[in-house]
Amino acid sequence: MANEGAGYLGTEGRPGGISSWIFSTDHKRIGILYLVSILSFFVVGVSLGFLMRLELISHGPTIMEASTYNSVFTLHGVVMLFLFIIPAAPSIFGNFFLPIMIGANDVSFPRLNLLSWWFYMAGAALALATLALGPADTGWTFYAPYSLRTGTYVSLAVFAVFVLGLSSILTGINFVTTVHRLRAPGMGFWRLPLFVWAVYATAWIQIVATPILGVNLLLVIAERVFGIGVFDPAKGGDPILYQHLFWIYSHPAVYIMIIPGMGIISEIIPVFARKVIFGYRAIAYSSLGIAGVGSLVWGHHMFVSGSSYTAGVIFSFFTFLVAIPSAIKVFNWVGTLYKGSIVLGTPFLFALAFIFLFSIGGLTGLILGALSINVHLHDTYFVVSHFHYIKFGGAGFAFFAGLHYWLPKMTGRMYNTKVANWSCLVLFIGFNLLFFPMLILGIEGMPRRYFDYLPQYSTLQIVSIVGSWVLVTGLIMMFVNLIRGAFRGPRAPFNPWGSATLEWQIPSPPQRENFEKIPEVTKGPYDFRGLR
């Protein structure tokens, strides 16, 4: 297939004004809208994280006061979770590729899709507005009773998260419906690419779990504005119930963040091992398994909140259980590599980094899931390190892998692979320098959310701070290279990696109408026979 001009990127040969983007109902353009907006907020989040680290370079207030530090880690958490990692993979790649991968020309509800993006932007505007007014200082968890008392703009921040949740729900509804209704002839459920399976499982969690967070946030607003008393001990309420409702959503939300990333990795591994993926069904089922068991483990965030011992044991047990489906995936990826004829492409290097970092994240998670050890490690840097390994080392690196895998399709141009490989290495080193010392600091007792520390922690803190510099260098390398590639890189062929899924069988970039004729699917997504 030849490269036919700018495809969906142009309007009758012209690039088209801004309104042809922000009012477009084309799933590909909406995917690009999300790409640009989400990455912009990621830059904001990284800057905040970078500043937090810098604050700790010497004792006492260095570049900010304690209260500012509180606001900065709150905003960092909110931005990274609700504006970056939750929407990143589903809203960018899900929007752009899910319809193409199942052989459809769009999602089921294109206008609703555009509305989700507008909600996303509204939520983002509200969240960033608090930055000017007086950012919340509660941590991203908004725990009662502090969140009911603090003088900062908690209600606004909470409402921002509510609006973002609405956007997330609408996207989920759209994807579930699309997968059920718009699969091309021959595209049975067992021929769905694993990325589609992952986004599908995620969409269900978004639909089922997000409303519970939503109403919890509304309750916080009602408490602050009217004082309805449900979380207020003075009126007979109970702040612990806030924690329950919060984690009933927010633990499954962890899987909203990671499952699509796992889906990306499941696409990349077989392509670069030139082999049918090992255990296709096991991987698909394990996504559903994680979605299911993952809804029963929220109590592991509350081992020291005064819940009963029995509850602790049960939640600890389920936490161990939920590690199994995640491990199944890791084994299957590694099993796919075994005896494959491996091509060391950039996306593949990122995927390897993902497997390594995600495994550390998962194993430290098991340590935290053990009841007795948790009492010691709770609210220390060990936890901070653990969730950065999962969310950044896992979901974040998977997202970067996806960027390097799919951007040539999205933009029709290729980035410089040598620079990309180097940036992967720098990121990997920077990441471990930044976050591995935090594991040790945590074991030694360094508490999280402190803007200062005791002298004995100095050495490891400095190592970690230098790590943040290396990491940011890697990020700059990566993004500059990708952006240059997107605008000036050489034209990408329609199938640069020799993939078998449908999105690679159409031109790069795709035409406006994905398929002139809806394809008839006759083989599985990882059947490489007949490809190079």
> Which chain residues interact with other proteins by CB under 8 A?
11, 20, 23-26, 105-106, 108-110, 112, 169, 172-174, 176-178, 180-182, 207-212, 214-216, 218-219, 222, 226-230, 234-238, 241, 244-245, 512-513
Min CB(293)–other proteins separation in Å: 19
Select the binding partner of residue 384 from Cu ion, ligand HEM, other proteins, none (C-beta < 5 to 8 A, by kind). Answer: ligand HEM
Phi and psi torsions of 227, nearest 5°: 75, 55
Helix, strand or coil for residue 447? Answer: strand
Q: How far apart, in whole angstroms, are the C-alpha atoms of residue 454 and residue 465?
A: 16
Query: Cis peptide leading into 509, omega within 30 of 0?
Result: yes
Q: Does 34 bind ligand HEM (CB under 6 A)?
A: no
Q: Could you say which of Cu ion, ligand HEM, other proteins, none residue 409 binds, taking C-beta under 5 to 8 angstroms by partner kind?
A: none
Of 16, 22, 50, 331, the residue at the interface with ligand HEM (CB under 6 A) is: 50
226 binds, among ligand HEM, Cu ion, other proteins, none (CB under 5 to 8 A by kind): other proteins
Nearer of residues 49 and 270 to ligand HEM, judged by Cβ: 49
Q: Can you state the percent helix, strand and coil of the chain, rounding each to 5?
A: 70, 0, 30
H-type alpha helices, 338-454:
346-369, 371-377, 381-388, 397-411, 417-443
Cα radius of gyration (the chain): 23
Q: How far is the CB of 345 from ligand HEM (least distance, A)?
A: 24
Give me 138's structure tokens.
């509660």
DSSP notation for 470-505: HHHHHHHHHHHHHHHHHHHSPBPPS-TT---SGGGG
Taking each helix axis from N to C terminus, what angle separates 27-55 and 458-488, rounded to the nearest 10 degrees? Answer: 150
The listed partner (other proteins, Cu ion, ligand HEM, none) that binds 103, CB under 5 to 8 Å by sort, is none
Q: CB under 5 to 8 A by kind: which of other proteins, Cu ion, ligand HEM, none does 251 bind? A: Cu ion
Instruction: Pick what 108 binds: other proteins, ligand HEM, Cu ion, none; C-beta below 5 to 8 Å, kind-dependent.
Output: other proteins
Summarize as ranges the residues that interact with Cu ion (CB under 5 A): 251
Indicate the residue among 191 and 251 with the shorter CB distance to Cu ion: 251
Residue 526, CA atoms < 13 Å, CB-side half-sphere? 22
> Is the separation of the CB atoms in 127 and 83 below 8 Å?
yes
CB atoms within 10 A of CB 6: 15
Which lies closer to other proteins via its Cβ, residue 158 or residue 245? 245
The binding track of 304-333 with respect to ligand HEM, each residue x by CB under 6 A or -, is ------------------------------
Distances (CA, A) of 226 to 135, 221, 229, 248, 330: 21, 8, 9, 25, 49
| The entry of other proteins, ligand HEM, Cu ion, none that residue 132 binds, CB within 5 to 8 Å by partner kind | none
Given the complex with ligand HEM, which of 109 and 450 has the nearer CB atom? 450
Site for ligand HEM in 147-206 (CB under 6 A): none
* Helix 194-225, helix 280-293: angle, nearest 10: 10
Most distant pair of Cα atoms in the chain: their distance: 71
Shortest gap between Cβ of 512 and other proteins (angstroms)?
Answer: 6
Closer to other proteins by Cβ: residue 513 or 527: 513
Residue 80 binding ligand HEM, by CB under 6 A:
yes
Is residue 122 within 8 Å of 61, Cβ to Cβ?
no
Chain contacts with ligand HEM (rule: CB under 6 A): 46, 49-50, 52-53, 73-74, 76-77, 80-81, 84-85, 139-140, 384, 388, 391-392, 396, 434, 448-449, 468, 471
